[in-house]
Structure 1
Amino acid sequence: MFTQGINHLGTSFKQYFEIVPALTEELKQEAYRVRHAVYCEDLHFETSRPDGFEIDEYDARSLHLLIRSIHNNTFIGCTRIIRPPLGSSDKRLPFERTCAQTLDRSIIDPAKLPADKIGEVSRLAVISAFRRRKGEKNHPISISEEDFSLGSILRFPYIPLGLYIGTVELARLYNIKVLFMLTEKRLASHFSRLGAQLESIGEPVEHRGLRFPSMVETHSIIANMRSIFRPLYQVVAKDINIVMNATNQLSILAPIDAHPGMYAHHTETRRNAVR
């Protein structure tokens, strides 16, 4: 039963997959290859390029993350966190442009938050060979209600959740307090399965299908993470921290001697949360 394997989620994940922060240009190119395979060749959301890389103007200021198949020794999925352009007067994230007419700034106004404390989750993708179930081929990443049922642990959605959790840990390390996303409603709800509820911040827009703008506070995801996912989080966080330590990245980022996400108190207001 799935419930009997909860404590082994981390062990099982580590047996088959590895989360890798793309800190070098070579690793970033692996992410661009995955994106080209999914967004250009499979879904035709973007125009194919001769070099096989799907790249845009936001990549230079993004944090990139990969997931590798241990068995195949190949990268099979990726995501990124886009950061605002700190040296520009226009610090809008991509979703702010897409949702210019539908974003409810009475809920949260990204323009009033410190630019170095926010980011947008984007380009979440898994290659087609690892999303072969019915109805998955037309989506860049897949996860379903049945994946969370009390059935076989083999069905557990390791790949998308590994990328989700890796994104959260990367945001924590870079001291990004608020994550925004523009995604399908079903994926937003599944992200919430980690424990913290995504908050809708505007009306949906048409963007390769109906997409919903939402936000979540990084510390809230980690502090409220459901116990069944903590073994998986610990393994993913360890992988990321090993790489960051090896490249001396952590010396300039958030301290990690405190348990990840175990904040002493909740913020009184969202603005305080991102100071």
Structure 2
Amino acid sequence: MKQVKQRSFFEQASRIVGKNNKLGKLLAGYSKLREANYISSHFSSYLSPVLASNDELRKEVFNIRHRVYCEELKFEEENAEQLEIDEFDSFSMHCLIQHLNSDKFAGTVRIVRPQEEGQQLPIEKYCLNSITNRALDPTLMARKDICEVSRLAVPKEFRRRQMDNFEGAPTGVINQQTYSETELRCFPFIAVGLYFAAAGMALENNIKHAYVMMEPRLARSMSFVGIRFEQIGPVVDYHGKRAPYYINQKLLSSNLKPGFAKMLSDLRRKL
């Protein structure tokens, strides 16, 4: 509430003095800075990215994926080990988002990053024909320069109860949690945090081109914070209605709103 009142004060002050003079610009800039600091600090108060750099953490990744992709969505067969692993994991980087108050993991994402000839992105193996923008065809790129964001998963306990059966919720379209009213404001950022984690991993490894197959409504929800994916083909039936999207560092950095740009910067430092 205090943050809302402060923001309202600066908005009113900016309207009174105008935006085209020195004081108006100063007030507007200060307001944006406060908002940027608030968004990033609010996220980091409850959630933190964790690079899955050992077998124990990767097991957490694969277990969350089993719960979401095998048990809930039925995209893959369940197995006794309760671990969802595929052929792309051997050349992927994985990240988790940890809920600090409970130490539980609130979601996971990976970037598939080929290193050798013959190693493909999932989009190349299963959905290449859906890419109609041939200038951005990943098969034309050097293997070290491409990656794919995939297997984003948010477990049920980190989504609102009434949304548990909402189509798309397990993969980030709806991702709120009801531990407390204060924390509830932060949990819509889980999917954003996961995409930022993927972006951070790609940027830190100098990967130039990133691809993702996702629902158009998830792409639209990401555009709200300024993550503007470029659609490079039509919607196809691939685990639901999905389309191929592309993003690079320029597309990411040129559209991010200030608060989320700072959130990405802070998240990269933590990774």
TM-score range relative to shorter protein: 0.7 to 0.9
Letter of the structure 1 residue corresponding to residue 65 of structure 2: R
Which residue does the alignment assign to 2:139?
Answer: 111
Give, in angstroms, the shift of residue 10 of structure 1. 1.5
Answering whether residue 160 of structure 2 is matched by residue 129 of structure 1, we say no
Q: Note if 1:34 corresponds to 2:64.
A: yes
- Which runs of no fewer than 5 residues in structure 2 stay unpaired? 8-33, 177-181
Residues 90-146 of structure 1: CA deviation (Å, up to 9, x unaligned): 3431112322332214341212212101100000001101112544534323346x9
Contact 1:172 1:219 in 2 (8 A): no
Q: Distance in 2 between matches of 1:181 and 1:133?
A: 28
1:159-174 equivalences under 5 Å are 159-174=190-205
Matching of residue 65 in structure 1 with residue 95 in structure 2: yes
Q: Cα distance 1:183–1:173, how it changes in 2: closer, same or farther (>3 A)?
A: same
Aligned to 1:24: 54
Asked whether the equivalents of residues 10 and 234 of structure 1 are also in contact (C-alpha less than 8 Å), the reply is no
2:107, 2:153 within 8 Å by CA — same for their partners in 1?
Answer: yes
Question: When the two structures are aligned, how many residues end up with a matched partner?
Answer: 232
Could you tell me whether the CA contact under 8 Å between 1:183 and 1:213 is conserved in 2? yes
Q: Tell me, yes or no, if structure 1 residue 87 matches structure 2 residue 116.
A: yes
Residue range with higher mean Cα deviation, 210-219 or 61-70? 210-219
- State the shift of 1:216 in Å: 0.5
Query: Is the CA contact 1:136–1:142 (under 8 Å) kept in the aligned structure 2?
Result: no
> 1:98 matched to which residue of 2?
126
Distance in 1 separating the partners of 2:185 and 2:256: 20
Shift of 1:50: 0.8
1:140-219 mapped onto 2 (5 Å cutoff): 140-143=170-173, 154-156=184-186, 157-219=188-250
- Higher relative CO (Cα under 8 Å, sequence separation at least 6) belongs to 1
> Among the aligned pairs, what percent are the same residue?
34
Name the SS of the counterpart of 2:102 in structure 1.
Answer: coil
- CA displacement at 1:154 relative to structure 2: 4.4
User: Quick check: which one's helix share is greater?
Assistant: 2
Asked which structure has the greater CA Rg, the reply is 2
Structure 1 unmatched runs, 5+: 147-151, 241-275
The letter of the residue matching 2:226 is G
C-alpha RMSD over aligned residues: 2.3
